[in-house]
Amino acid sequence: METKATPFSELVVGCGDRLAAIRLALGFERQTAFAASIGISTQRLNQWEQEKHPPDLHVMCALKRRHGVSLDWIYMADPGAMSLNLVQALVSLGARPGAPLSARRLRHTLGHDPDEPRPAFLHEDQAGRPGFREEQAPAPLPRARRGRPPKARPED
Q: The domain that contains 84 carries what CATH number?
A: 1.10.260.40
Give percent of the chain above pLDDT 70: 63
**Residue 124 lies inside a defined structural domain of this protein:** no
Residue-level pLDDT at 61: 92
**Residue 74 lies inside a defined structural domain of this protein:** yes
Residue-level pLDDT at 44: 95
Q: Which residues pair with 124 in a beta bridge?
A: 130
Residue-level pLDDT at 138: 43
Lowest mean pLDDT segment, chosen from 32-36, 49-53, 126-130: 126-130
**Residue 77 lies inside a defined structural domain of this protein:** yes
**Residue 120 lies inside a defined structural domain of this protein:** no
Taking the C-alpha atoms of residue 86 and residue 72, their distance in angstroms, rounded to an integer, is 14
Q: Which residues pair with 122 in a beta bridge?
A: 132
pTM: 0.64
Q: Tell me if residue 104 falls in helix, strand or coil.
A: helix
Residue-level pLDDT at 88: 87
Query: Average of pLDDT values for 60-78?
Result: 89
**Residue 14 lies inside a defined structural domain of this protein:** yes
Domain count for the chain, please give it.
Answer: 1
Q: Which residues pair with 131 in a beta bridge?
A: 123
Residue-level pLDDT at 47: 93
By DSSP bridging, strand 122-124 and strand 130-132 are: antiparallel
* Banded pLDDT at 31 (limits 50, 70, 90): very high
**Residue 141 lies inside a defined structural domain of this protein:** no
pLDDT digits (tens, 9 = 90+) for 84-140: 888 888 888 888 888 888 888 888 777 655 544 444 444 555 554 444 444 443 444
* Banded pLDDT at 10 (limits 50, 70, 90): low
**Residue 117 lies inside a defined structural domain of this protein:** no
Domain that holds residue 83: 8-112
Q: Where are the alpha helices (DSSP H) in 12-132?
A: 15-25, 31-37, 42-49, 57-67, 71-76, 84-93, 101-110
Mean pLDDT (the chain) is 76
1-34 per-residue burial string, b: 16 or more CB within 10 A, e: under 16: eeeeeeeeeeebebbbbbbbbbbbbbebeebeeb
**Residue 24 lies inside a defined structural domain of this protein:** yes
